[in-house]
Amino acid sequence: MNIFAFITNVLSIGIPFSVSLLLASTGEMFNQRAGIFNLGCEGIMSMGAFLAFMAPHTLQGTALEPWANMLGILAAMLMGGLMGMLFALATVTFRAPQGIAGIGLHMLGWGVAGTLFRFFVGGVTGIPGLKPVFLGMNALAYLAFLLVPASWYILFKTPWGLKVRAVGTYPRAADTMGVNVARTRYQALIAGGVLAGLAGAYLSLGQAKMFADDIVAGRGFIAVALVYFGRWNPFLILGGSLLFSIAQSLQLAIQVQGIAFPYEFAVMLPYVLVILVLAFAGGSTVRGPAELGKPYNREKRV
Amino acid sequence: MKRFVFALVALCLIVGVVAAAPKTKVKIALIVESTVDDKGWCQAMHDAITAVQKKYGSALVEYSYSEKMKPVDAGSAARQYVAKGFDIIICHGAQYKNLVLEMAEEFPKTTFAFGTSGEIGPKNVFTYMPESEETGYVNGIIAGLVTKSNIIGLVGPVDGGDAARYNRGFILGVRAVNPKANVQVAYTGSFGDFVKAAELAHTQIKAGADVLTGSAQQALGALRAVAEYKDKNIWWLGQDTAQLTIPESYKVIAAASYAYEAVVEQLIDKRQAGVLGGEVLPLNFANGGFIYKFNDKVGPVLTADIRKAAEKALADITANKITIPWKDVK
């Protein structure tokens, strides 16, 4: 195989596989910019993947079939928003520790999606999934890439984006200026949840075209890491998602080519790469949201 | 007629020797990491135990199971089973090894079993090992005869246990009929990452593979990826007969499965004969531990000659006429 075909193959497989990471980490970026890190991303993705799968699965052969994928995506986004709201209730209103609450949300989403799937479907069933529209990628993938400049614009050029950044950096000052900290954090968490739900929908509808308990397989946690990797900036997060996915497809392609290299190391490659970049990016002048991870209590003296 | 009588006598002998009904009531517990209806790894063992239970009646075989047991949680479940007087506790997965060894020391009168593993355990621990190089070999024969591009893709989970044996058997099967064919072996590093398995299958296909195979749960992701090439001559050989009953089965030429009944029956027999463990129980074609099914609906790709070659290999393996030196394959 010539080198050009090799590179084309690696890219044509790697780029579509970056989409779910990109969506989830863009959502997580909104959460973290508002000062909340949501480790429950994986759980929201599981629920999103399940609901997006359920719509085409149950509507097969009905009058609604042409709309099934769309309905599935909407259901996934709605559920993502609701789970984001639930997380906001726990971490913003009740000021629960974010790490623990996030792990709780992860287990809730993962467990409920698996149980409902088992109850209503069970076993293994495929769905037709999303059709490619251009260059082998579906419409949702292009939407995800368009979301990158859109998120950048929202975050840095709109009043709402300024509020989000303010409540994540110095909520007390934002509060003094009349910004409703709790409401803004709720909004950011709901937005993040919607995107995580969409990321899950992409996994089941766009990639695997099926659902299984462990379909997300740790991608929600990688998305959280990619936000740090991307220094809370949508364009850098896009770079991180692409780097990770292309490294993934590259290691698979290397294995397939039969190059003598222990497969255990090949499988590790994408993760090692992210750790290396994180380590070297440590000296970056870009600082994360200063109040990340701290609940805000107006009554508390500091 | 002679053949029929011979077969009947042989069957009676097998049933009589291998599978005598339990003399006293036996209580079996199963611990699994996934669920008993996962259409794969865990369900295969669950189905085997329920089949044995059905055969002898629930008055003789009592059965209970615990699902979604991570090795950490499985300990408390196993202890409860011991407390309730269960005789045989099967922890279905090599990940339970340490737990089983610990429990076995604590409860020497209970029989524990885990697998797949080829290790000989303590005197109250059985291990079971599918000799899956046999199913791999038969699948490999078909793959070697079907491929036009002479490139065959293998989507492996990890290079260990029965997956490693399957892969090596598969390579030997391909080599036996088509020495020119190249088997591209690659691993996802996971038993359950369907998405990554699909990605790997796409990579294999783009590199020219026109016949693919794979084992463990993750293989379904790869089969789904193969099914995306609907009108192309790209085919799949399964290591799970459940793949013949799903919509993607039109891509599956044939598939093998484990029939753990052989293991369950041996466990009961040996325990009742006073052997609590210390042996490896094999699963192979000869002891009925494997099922092999051709997919008649797959179309002209499964020619009479190919089928014949595979059937011959099956018969030879069952009759121990050929050995598969899987350990020689790197």
* Cβ contact, residue pair B248, A217, below 8 Å: no
pLDDT of B173 reads 93
pLDDT of A283 reads 61
Q: What is the arithmetic mean of pLDDT over B210-220?
A: 89
Q: B260 pLDDT exceeds 70?
A: yes
What tokens were used for A223?
A: 């998305």
What tokens were used for A266?
A: 């090949």
Domain containing residue B148: CATH number: 3.40.50.2300
Q: Which residues, 6 or more positions from B74, have their beta carbon under 8 angstroms from its beta carbon?
A: B31, B66, B91, B96, B99
Q: To the nearest 10°, the Cα dihedral for B110, B113, B114, B118? A: 130
Q: What's chain B's Rg over C-alpha atoms?
A: 20
* Cβ contact, residue pair B206, A126, below 8 Å: no
Distance of alpha carbon A83 from the chain centroid: 13
Q: Which residues, 6 or more positions from A216, have their beta carbon under 8 angstroms from its beta carbon?
A: A42, A45, A46, A49, A110, A200, A203
- What residues 6-35 of chain A have any CB closer than 8 A to a CB of chain B? 9, 12-13, 17
Task: Note whether B190 and B272 are same-domain residues.
Answer: no
Task: Note whether B234 and B169 are same-domain residues.
Answer: yes
Any B CB within 8 A of A215 CB: yes
Task: Note whether B32 and B176 are same-domain residues.
Answer: no
For A136, which residue in chain B has the nearest alpha carbon?
B228
Task: Note whether B94 and B209 are same-domain residues.
Answer: no
Chain A residue numbers with beta carbons less than 8 Å from the beta carbon of B181 are none
* Cβ contact, residue pair A257, B39, below 8 Å: no
In which band, very low, low, confident or very high, does the pLDDT at B326 lie, cut at 50, 70 and 90? confident
Task: Map tokens 């359950």 to a residue.
Answer: B192
**CA distance, residue B317 to nearest chain A CA (Å):** 30
CB of B127 closer than 8 Å to CB of B115: yes
Task: Note whether B61 and B83 are same-domain residues.
Answer: yes
* Cβ contact, residue pair A257, B248, below 8 Å: no
Chain A residue numbers with beta carbons less than 8 Å from the beta carbon of B193 are 214, 217
In which band, very low, low, confident or very high, does the pLDDT at B2 lie, cut at 50, 70 and 90? low
In which band, very low, low, confident or very high, does the pLDDT at B7 lie, cut at 50, 70 and 90? low
CB of A138 closer than 8 Å to CB of A74: no
Task: Note whether B70 and B97 are same-domain residues.
Answer: yes
Total number of domains in chain B: 2
Task: Note whether B237 and B264 are same-domain residues.
Answer: no
Task: Note whether B121 and B191 are same-domain residues.
Answer: no
Task: Note whether B71 and B153 are same-domain residues.
Answer: no
Task: Note whether B192 and B311 are same-domain residues.
Answer: yes
pLDDT of B17 reads 44
* Cβ contact, residue pair B39, A124, below 8 Å: yes
Cα separation of A213 and A216, whole Å? Answer: 8
Does this complex have an ipTM over 0.85?
Answer: no
**DSSP 8-class letter at B252:** E
Domain segments of chain A as ranges = 3-122+134-283
Any A CB within 8 A of B200 CB: yes
Task: Note whether B126 and B252 are same-domain residues.
Answer: no
Q: Which of B196, B203, B212, B226 to mutate to test the interface with A (most CBs of A within 10 A)?
A: B203
Task: Note whether B98 and B229 are same-domain residues.
Answer: no
Q: B218 pLDDT exceeds 60?
A: yes
Cα separation of B102 and B117, whole Å? Answer: 16
| DSSP per-residue string spanning B156-192 | ES-SSHHHHHHHHHHHHHHHHH-TT-EEEEEE-S-SS
pLDDT of A282 reads 63
pLDDT of B13 reads 44
Instruction: Provide the sign of the torsion angle of the four alpha carbons A149, A150, A153, A156, taken in this order.
Output: negative
Expressed as residue numbers, the domain containing B19 is: 2-131+259-283
| CATH top class, domain A3-122+134-283 | mainly alpha
Q: What is the pLDDT along chain A (302 residues), one digit of tens a residue?
A: 578 888 888 888 889 889 999 999 999 999 999 999 999 999 999 999 999 999 988 888 888 888 888 999 999 999 999 999 999 999 999 988 999 999 999 999 999 998 898 888 876 677 777 777 677 778 889 999 999 999 999 999 999 999 999 998 888 888 888 889 899 999 999 999 999 999 999 999 988 888 888 888 889 999 998 998 888 999 999 999 999 999 989 888 888 888 777 888 888 888 888 788 777 766 666 677 888 888 888 887 76
Chain B residue numbers with beta carbons less than 8 Å from the beta carbon of A253 are 203, 207
Give all strands (DSSP E) within chain B, no chain letters.
Answer: 26-31, 61-66, 88-92, 111-115, 125-130, 151-156, 182-187, 211-214, 235-238, 252-258, 280-283, 290-294
* Cβ contact, residue pair A125, B35, below 8 Å: no
Q: Which residues, 6 or more positions from A32, have their beta carbon under 8 angstroms from its beta carbon?
A: A38, A168, A227, A232, A288, A289, A292
In which band, very low, low, confident or very high, does the pLDDT at B16 lie, cut at 50, 70 and 90? very low
